[in-house]
Amino acid sequence: MSSEHPEEFSQPPVSRTPDDTASHEATTVLVRGETIRDQEPKSTPKDKESTPKDKEKSPRKEVSEAKIKMQNRLPALDDDADVGVQKEQIVIRDGKADLAFAGKLLASAAPPSAPKGQWQEYRVYETNGGQHVFSKVTRSVYVEDQDTHQA
């Protein structure tokens, strides 16, 4: 059996007598390792969208318009025009002092899209002293998610 196909379980046939129709049978179903017992039928997605109570239970995250613009430009980055340009560079680092040096941006890269609203940006710099600095910025379009900076 291939791991790509969902597991299938067969149930033995149930024979009912006239007395069984009035009684309530407990049903246990095993789905991908989870046991589900006597659940009430769930409403359809249409029903959930139409009731205001359900919308209150799962509030949507607020997105940043500036970050949405950045996401829509991927894989292009704001500093793509600075590749190969000699200038003063500042590389931000979380929890550490920022790096400031004279040098040039050798390369920058980002994914072509960010379907889940999060992506990483990578940059490689060369200092005037011949050393290299590698930076990684993880961005999110959501306001409550802060960007992380490593170098």
Amino acid 28: pLDDT:
47
Q: Does 10 have pLDDT greater than 70?
A: no
Reported as a single tens digit per residue, the pLDDT across 101-148 is 999 999 999 999 998 999 999 999 999 999 999 999 999 999 999 999
Reported as a single tens digit per residue, the pLDDT across 60-96 is 889 899 999 999 999 999 999 999 999 999 999 999 9
CA dihedral of residues 60, 146, 143, 76 (deg, nearest 10) = -100
Confidence of residue 32 (pLDDT cuts 50, 70, 90): very low
Instruction: Specify whether the CB–CB gap between 91 and 125 falls below 8 A.
Output: yes
Q: Give the Cα separation of 84 and 124 in Å (integer).
A: 11
Higher pLDDT, 28 or 110: 110
Reported as a single tens digit per residue, the pLDDT across 45-69 is 554 455 555 555 657 889 899 999 9
Amino acid 27: pLDDT:
47
Q: Which residue spans within the chain are E strands per DSSP? A: 28-31, 34-37, 86-91, 99-109, 118-127, 132-140, 148-150
pTM for the full model? Answer: 0.59
Domain boundaries, the chain: 65-150
Neighbours of 144 (CB within 10 A): 8
Amino acid 58: pLDDT:
57
Amino acid 115: pLDDT:
87
Residue 141 Cα distances to 68, 76, 114, 128, angstroms: 6, 16, 9, 35
Q: Tell me the sheet residues that pair with 87.
A: 103
